[in-house]
Structure 1
């Protein structure tokens, strides 16, 4: 019998159940919804506080929030470590800097691919802070709580993702 942990991809249903259980555990242990972008927000705030304490003291953000390295950073570390462990166990360690779909559409330039990836990550982080939550905060925890704003966020997020993929890769991407 094959080891299910060693598979390169898992059933989305099994993974969904696992994320749901993780979310329950998060509510139970931390009394807080599952989310990851708060860790980056707090880290940026701590860096600003360290670089310019006067600016931090005059900011309304610091009056309302106490930035810290909290349990959300353990989730960031867990995602990173889990990715490495999964890659090691499954044997899926092929270093792909420029995926085939990207290469067929935009060429094999590594600097272009990394620049667009970094820009896109920054845009997603900005959007997550603007929406006061990320895909895990709204899309998982908020939806599990039947939050109307989270369901609306998820509808908009998935629609925007589909439209963006069609815009960037076109309809022919299904055949690559």
Structure 2
């Protein structure tokens, strides 16, 4: 087991070095790119895809788990309910099987948020926007419709992910790499639903 972990760690280091070499190259316009993989604004999708796949393999080898994020929202809801007087999340079968406490899924979701923020800061690409330009062009500068739409969309996506038993990471990454039929079907639905809603909104 230890040898396999060392193997995967070395493979990850090799991929990061490849990414570093790419980031130190020249972009298609002929301009020198950032010299550090941590400060480059746009990563190659091929490098990112390779890193995500390798990360998932590492997670499986080291912790016997694969990537997945949607369960963290259910965990957070249960943790919030525990703080409310009279709240008893353990009365539900789901929380009896999955106690609402900080675990790997919750920390993964937190890491995505923190990592995204740090990446934006390091690449000097961080700029708070309540109304993004695309929404502004299609629907105007009003903030409330933007917030309500974002909240409703997030709630529907979270509900759908729990009903489907996985999200774009659980099904789209972890499930498809295991050739699960349900995950490939879910992935197709993700694309179809996303394209349809984008067409409706923009």
Partner of 1:103: 136
Pair 1:44-2:81 in alignment:
no
Matches within 5 A, 1:1-176: 1=24, 2-3=34-35, 4-51=37-84, 55-169=88-202
Distance 1:60 1:88 in 2: 42
CA spacing shift, 1:63–1:11, aligned 2, 3 Å: same
Distance 1:105 1:130 in 2: 31
Give the paired residue count.
169
- Name the TM-score, length of structure 1 as normaliser: 0.87
Distance 2:38 2:78 in 1: 38
CA spacing shift, 1:96–1:56, aligned 2, 3 Å: closer
Post-superposition CA distance 1:118-159 (Å, at most 9, x none): 111111111111111111000000011111100000011101
Question: After TM superposition, where is structure 1 displaced by more than 4 Å over at least 4 residues in a row?
Answer: 52-55
Distance 2:154 2:147 in 1: 10
Post-superposition CA distance 1:14-34 (Å, at most 9, x none): 110111111111111221120
Task: In structure 2, list runs of 5 or more residues that go unmatched.
Answer: 1-23, 25-33
Say what the alpha-carbon RMSD is for the aligned residues: 1.8
If asked which structure has higher relative contact order (CA below 8 Å, sep 6+), I would say 1
